[in-house]
Amino acid sequence: MKSVFMATAFLFLACSGTNDVGNDGGDGAVVCDPENTHSISFGQKDETFFVGPFLGYTTATSVEVSWETEQAGSSKVEFGSDDSYGSSAQADSGTMHHVVVDGLQPATSYHYRACSDDRCTRDLTFSTAPLPGQPFRFDVYGDTRSDPEKHEAVASKIVDSDPVLVIDVGDIVQDGRNREEFKQMHFDPTRLLGHYAPLLVSIGNHERKDFEAEHFKDYLDFPSDSLKDFPDLMERQAGTTFSFVFGDAFFIILDDTLNHADLFFPLDGVDSPLWQWLQQQVSSPAAQQAKWRFAFAHYPADSGCYDDANYGWPSSEVRAQLLPLLWKNGFHAYFAGHQHDYERFDFDGHLVITTGGGGASLEDEDSCNRQVDELRVLKSVYHYVTVDLQCDKAIVKATDLNGQVFDELVIHPDGTHEEVE
């Protein structure tokens, strides 16, 4: 059962929806400092609790810490500038614990430990989101189900890459109706990663939202404030579709599974509620004032591993409807999964990446013969993608389990991109 207590230690401007804190260049513009990269440090793994603790939704002034215990107990996070802590936040007792630590300073690291009754974790650390004008790195990967050992190997490489934010593009379990799979396939392999870096997930078809994705939503407490203008969407999409600002970047995480007939595109001249929400979000001040804009969902726009007989909804509508909306509003890339490989596309000069090599069995690359004119790279390997947001460019790298960078490119603020030879 979820219950959140907001502990206020220091009041500052929040990062949810808009991000007005930053380095002012004198005319109101944010000045980027290439020497002030936002980074975090990874420490040791803790196994005190059944699941977690893991970091969730993070803003410039708050961090959510979650964990699960096998027996009901109290929920408390102690935190501070060092391991003497000095402050705490609490939530109601239960077996699923979600505690939001609020009132924090931006771009700041804190020591913390999670406690239930008389049991506490070792000393861990979290960091609030960066300020505008601070370079930072985020990683993307997906389709991590089925093989926990392979998933943990990929997660370990992600830890080595030192991201401050990680986004999984879905299919984190084999069957989302089985609660035990979330521990086995997602939380155990990412235990170390989740202690120190926020790990957000775009829901996939295997999470089984057709059966309400009860366990997904219980474990992963994502924000719903961006849905406030769409009450008819709130019940169905809360926790699976949201947007947020993180430093200089605007992110949309979209449920494109089509469950409960939530179409993310117009049909027969009628704008669905989710399409209306998308139009609002991509053109919002929060999106348009950000230097970088990225969208994430589970289904790709296309694949060299599809065959013509099974290509259709939802992928066809990602390509036909979603991508043009993103490009019209200045988005820099769209990331997806579903196909268990790496694929990079160039759609009229715009970047689209499928990163589905997080742990599930890989596609047979020799059988991926479908002709897709926009396809530039297809590689069936376990991998992850890093995105370094710098002052004047974003550097994107795809790296395999051997540490080899097999695809690299540069994105410019105007949305153009080119390969790095």
Domain boundaries along the sequence of the chain: 6-127, 136-419
User: How much of the chain exceeds pLDDT 70, in percent?
Assistant: 93
CA distances 45 to 75, 125, 201, 268, Å, are 20, 11, 21, 52
Q: Which residues pair with 251 in a beta bridge?
A: 244, 294
Number of C-alpha atoms within 13 angstroms, CB side, residue 36? 14
What pLDDT score was predicted for residue 309?
Answer: 73
| CA gap 28, 48 in Å, rounded | 47
What pLDDT score was predicted for residue 28?
Answer: 54
What pLDDT score was predicted for residue 205?
Answer: 97
What pLDDT score was predicted for residue 308?
Answer: 80
SS3 157: helix
What homologous superfamily does CATH list for 136-419? Metallo-dependent phosphatases (3.60.21.10)
**For residue 75, which of 59, 94, 61 has the smallest C-alpha distance?**
94
Q: With a cut of 50, list the residues of the chain below it in pLDDT.
A: 1-27
What pLDDT score was predicted for residue 270?
Answer: 96
The alpha-carbon radius of gyration of the chain (Å, integer) is 20
What pLDDT score was predicted for residue 307?
Answer: 85
Burial class (CB in 10 A: 0-12, 13-18, 19+), 280: middle
Range 6-127 classified under CATH 2.60.40.10: yes
Is the whole-model pTM more than 0.85? yes
What pLDDT score was predicted for residue 30?
Answer: 82
What pLDDT score was predicted for residue 369?
Answer: 93
Tokens 């769409």 belong to residue: 230
- Whether omega for the bond prior to residue 300 falls within 30 degrees of 0, making it cis, is no
What pLDDT score was predicted for residue 217?
Answer: 96
